[in-house]
Structure 1
Amino acid sequence: MSGFEVVAIANNGEEAIKKFQKLEEKPDIIILDYRMPIKNGIDALKEILKMDKNSKIIFASADRTIKEEVIQYGALGFLDKPFNHKKLISIVNKCLGSAKLIHS
């Protein structure tokens, strides 16, 4: 993505948490998927926010039934899968400006 730097990629929720812990400089935005092996995205979201309550997390899932739940747990935004590049860039830019968002 032009203008953005990916600082870490994780294959599962547990790995996402471990990589987050190891980063000296925390990312401006974290994008989590719901269905991940070992630990799902909701559990990873909760643990990351316990470590840093100011983390800005966008949740991405095809399962729209969890949208309200992840927002209540602290996600700033929700991307319905599938999504396109334009929608991703839009929600990332809005989250960088803060304020809770819900996208579809």
Structure 2
Amino acid sequence: MPMIECSPACRVGIAIVEDEKELVKVYEKAFSRRKIEICFIAYDGLEAVKLYLSCTPRPHAVLMDYRLPIMNGLEATSEIKKIDPEAKVIFLSADVSVRDDAMKAGAFAFLKKPASLKEILDTVQKALGRIPAV
């Protein structure tokens, strides 16, 4: 079962907020190959906010889906940005009509689903400061 609580070893890492468990597995494998630590995995927006609040250290980036149970990605992004205005949220959605709202909520980037794994990994690397932003 994936991580539902903070990894105490999360020095430079990412949080995954996604309700599709198969997609979470794909992300886990991809980040593991790139030596990107996963701080926590949340399957709904409210759980993501609670975990973000309780994490020490906090994730350096958050991969955020839009359509989530309990609290959607926009609401969760807004709450996380209230906790930490420096949080880098990478917003993922098939619904491009929420792009402006995601960016207003403070998203670092907006990726349209289905985004390629390369595009997601490149954006995560930028958010983590591993490659310069273009």
Give 5+ residue unaligned stretches, structure 1: none
The share of aligned pairs that are identical, in percent, is: 37
Aligned equivalents of 1:49, 1:57: Cα separation in 2: 9
Equivalent residue pairs, number: 101
How does 1:78-89 map onto structure 2 within 5 Å? 78-89=110-121
60, 69, 80: which is aligned to 1:48? Answer: 80
1:70 maps to which residue? Answer: 102
Which position in structure 2 is the counterpart of 1:91? 123
Per the alignment, do residues 70 and 99 of structure 1 end up closer, same or farther by CA in structure 2, a change over 3 Å counting?
farther
Give the strand-richer structure, 1 or 2: 2
Map of 2:43 onto structure 1: 11
The reply to whether residue 30 of structure 1 matches residue 51 of structure 2 is no
Q: TM-score, normalised by structure 2?
A: 0.70
Q: TM-score, normalised by structure 1?
A: 0.89
Cα separation, 1, equivalents of 2:133 and 2:44: 25
Aligned equivalents of 1:67 and 1:99: distance in 2?
23
